[in-house]
A and B are shown apart, each in its own frame.
Chain A
Amino acid sequence: MSTIIEARNLSRFYEVRRGLFAEPATVRALSEASFRVTQGTTLAVVGESGCGKSTLARLLTMIEPPSGGELVIDGKKLGATGHADLKALRKTVQIVFQDPYGSLNPRQKIGAILEEPLKINTDMPSRERREKAFDMLIKVGLRPEHYGRYPHMFSGGQRQRIAIARALMLDPKILILDEPVSALDVSIQAQILNILADLQEELGLTYIFISHDLSVVRFVADEVMVMYLGRPVEFAPVEAVFESPQHPYTVALLSATPVADPRRKRQNIKLEGELPSPINPPSGCPFHPRCRYARDKCSDIRPELTLHGQTLVACHGIEEGWIDYAAEPPPPGAALSGERAGTTPQAPDAAVRAPEPGSPV
């Protein structure tokens, strides 16, 4: 299994003007993210709004250049290569957006939507393009006669299938899925997740699955990266994140996720307050103002990602051993593992495919 994406200290800053005479401020949307993704696996990126997960998607799809750090996609280093290489590389990475109503042009027919990437990036003759569009429609569970219709004639779930089909037209190796099911109803969500699983198996795709819904993440991911305020705070194989979450933020996130089981006692690890502004992030560990374990050190020195068991975690308390969840109520990882008879959820054959946790380089 080879590494297909490698990021080292990847950062993206935005300058925002705050008035005519005020100094422009810098928003650190993404800071020093380092990770690796193995070909054919799914990396889930989890976090609340403003944590930098969509910025990461924009960098990986090369919509925007990084402000710092290195990004190696499919063996090619970004920035070092010329314009032509970048164009070729863009074919390798495609994206599916959250809102299937906003991401399809209402004036284009489905056929035109699907063929547009081919028109721009290849010199395929129109007959082949049409053939390919037909094939792709069938692959995502639609019918060839949908080729001549307009997006408004489709439901949300069908539109998301069209968006997936469009992303696959250039035979990419990597698919960035930016909250692909969060606008959909439960029954439709299940259909889309199944299609994504089928396509991954058939085409050997690598997924970067961006989501805030932990129950979906548990189902699709091989590895999980939890982000907070533009920084990865935990990176681990999916079972490790859900069974023994390390970072206090991950623990709180898991306990806040509602579980469809009325008999489960709600874990009362409430997170006080809200996400601080990324313009003026807290000193030291970005999580310390909301962390109930925080000590003096946490507000002074920013913790680095260190390996703890299978998990890479950025927390002084874990590194130095003064956070001990075992001494307290059990970690809420148990919360999401269905305790109901016979419904123990498992990650899709994660044991077979899950690679070693990527290490920072």
Chain B
Amino acid sequence: MPLLHIENLSVSFETASGAFLAVDSVDFDVDAGERLAIVGESGSGKSVAMLAVMGLLPPTATVTADRLEFAGRDLRGLSPRARREVIGGDVAMIFQEPMSSLNPCFTVGFQIKEALAAHTDLDRKGRQERAVELMRQVGIPEPERRLTAFPHQLSGGMSQRVMIAMATACRPKLLIADEPTTALDVTIQAQILDLLVELQKDHDMALILITHDMGVVAETAQRVVVQYAGQQVERQDVFGLFEAPHHPYTAALLDALPDRASGNRLPAISGVVPGQGDRPQGCLFNPRCRFADETCRKVVPPRQPPELGEALCHYPLHREEKAA
């Protein structure tokens, strides 16, 4: 049984100009001890889908799902109190801006111990010991002294380590990392990614990594979900995705990377991600797709079988190689 099981999750927001569908019927299965990456550009709904799982969306959001289960427990009808037991305990999340995720008025030690007080029955001494152990585990030098530091006294990389310590305080079964390294320098990014993978392996934790950086995906993930305008356009294992992408959007995204450029111009994707007012008919990617024809412009594409990356496309790429 998968750890996290989601079927047909949709999230829409009430706005002044009508409802905006941010997440459009996505499915997820995350197994224990797995590293899944969700990739997409801004506005693709990758964060919103995970915030819906965590129950962190504002009241203007309407969340609907056929199934939304964590470890066999239905998250949909959960009371706020019961939800808080799951969230922060078995499921934890870290965010993009470590500086603004920490409360500037309290020491980091207080904030880590607060999580322990809420979810464990350790006494004061036990919490202190566990906090020191956690700080050491995430690679913070002089952990006892650092526990008394305020967030403004720490650098961005250190703050993110504190966030990771706090998120893993209750040994979660699932850690959701929303762009954990986007605000950090590359050398610090490498340290944080190594730390996340190490923790994931040591504790046999599942990791969902939300990112827009294909390089980060290639180096960390085992399985990848590509999102575009709220839809999952492709789901594949990481090797397949980079070698033979089946959805034209995935292929175009990979081609647009400067790492892979071969001339002195990049094969850019023209146009922009559709917004609320200009959602096209048929396939959502058709206005920007090189391969689009009349069918794509009129008919909503079908979900292809797993051997074609479950691509949401009428004409998936690299079809011949699979047939051969």
CB <8 Å contact, A259 and B186: no
Residues of chain B within 8 A of A257, CB atoms compared: 186, 215
Measured CA separation A219–B217 after assembly (Å)? 21
* Chain B residues, Cβ within 8 Å of A300: none
Is B79 an interface position by the 8 A CB rule?
Answer: no
The answer to whether A187 and B261 have CB atoms under 8 Å apart is no
Which residues 194-225 of B have a CB within 8 angstroms of A?
194, 212-219, 221
Alpha-carbon distance A73/B135, docked complex (angstroms): 50
Choose among B42, B258, B268 the residue that contacts A191 (Cβ–Cβ < 8 A). Answer: B268
- Alpha-carbon distance between A194 and B269 when the two chains are bound, in angstroms: 11
Q: How many positions in chain B have a CB within 8 Å of any CB in the partner chain? A: 46
Q: Provide the bound-state CA to CA distance between A218 and B269, in Å.
A: 20
Q: Is the CB of A260 within 8 A of B242?
A: yes
A216 touches B186 (CB 8 A): no
A306 interface residue, CB < 8 Å from B? no
* Stretch among B50-58, B100-108, B248-256 lining the A interface: B248-256
Q: Say how far B78's CB is from chain A's closest CB, in angstroms.
A: 35
In Å, the complex CA distance between A173 and B264 comes to 21
- The CA of A189 and the CA of B255, in the complex, are separated in Å by 12
What residues of A have a CB within 8 angstroms of the CB of B256 in the complex? Answer: 186-187, 189-190
Smallest beta-carbon distance A198→chain B, Å? 8
**Contact (Cβ within 8 A) A253 B218:** no
The verdict on B16 contacting chain A, using a C-beta distance below 8 Å, is no
What is the CA–CA distance of A344 and B262 in the complex, to the nearest angstrom? 6
Interface of B is mostly: helix
B133 interface contact, C-beta 8 A: no
Q: Are A343 and B218 CB-contacts (below 8 A) given A155-B272, A190-B268?
A: no
Q: Given the complex of chains A and B, what is the CA–CA distance between A252 and B194 in angstroms?
A: 15
A346 to B265: give the CA distance in the assembly, Å.
11
B258 & A216 in contact (Cβ 8 Å cutoff) = yes
Q: Give, as a whole number of angstroms, the nearest-CB distance from B161 to chain A.
A: 11
Which of the candidate stretches A106-114, A130-138, A262-270 sits at the interface with the other chain? A262-270
User: Given A256-B187, A259-B218, A345-B260, A194–B213 Cβ distance below 8 Å?
Assistant: no
Report whether A256 and B186 are in contact in the complex, using a CB–CB cutoff of 8 Å.
yes
B259 at the interface (CB under 8 A from A): yes
How far is B212's CA from A259's CA once the two chains are assembled, in angstroms? Answer: 13
For the complex, what is the distance from the CA of A257 to the CA of B213, rounded to whole Å? 11
A345–B212 contact, CB under 8 A? no
In the bound complex, what is the Cα–Cα distance between A19 and B157 (angstroms)?
27
Bound-state Cα–Cα, A188 to B187, Å? 25
Contact of B31 with A by CB under 8 A: no
Interchain CB contact (< 8 A) of A262 among B212, B218, B268: B218
Shortest distance from the beta carbon of B253 to any chain A beta carbon, whole Å: 6
- B264 engages A253 (CB within 8 Å): no
Q: Is the CB of A252 within 8 A of B187?
A: yes
B142: min CB distance to chain A, Å:
13
Chain A residues with Cβ under 8 A from B149's Cβ?
none
- Residues of chain B within 8 A (CB-CB) of A69 are none
Q: Is B300 an interface residue (CB 8 A)?
A: no
Q: Does B155 contact A (CB under 8 A)?
A: yes
Q: Which residues on the B side are within 8 Å of A338 (C-beta)?
A: 259-260
The answer to whether B218 touches A261, judged by C-beta atoms less than 8 angstroms apart, is: yes
- A215 near B257: Cβ-Cβ < 8 Å: yes
Per-residue B-contact encoding for A250-287, CB less than 8 Å = 1, 0 else = 00110111111111101000110011000000000000
> Could you list 5 further interchain pairs (A-B, Cβ under 8 angstroms) beyond the known A256-B189, A259-B219, A346-B263?
A185-B41, A258-B190, A260-B218, A261-B259, A274-B157
> Which residues of A approach B to under 8 Å, CB–CB?
48-49, 155-158, 185-191, 193-194, 197, 212-216, 218-220, 252-253, 255-264, 266, 270-271, 274-275, 336, 338, 340, 342-346, 348-349
Q: Which B residues are within 8 Å of any A CB, using their own CB?
A: 41-42, 155, 157-158, 185-191, 193-194, 212-219, 221, 238-239, 242, 252-254, 256-270, 272-273
Closest 7 CB pairs of A and B: A258-B215, A348-B264, A190-B268, A219-B258, A256-B190, A187-B269, A185-B41
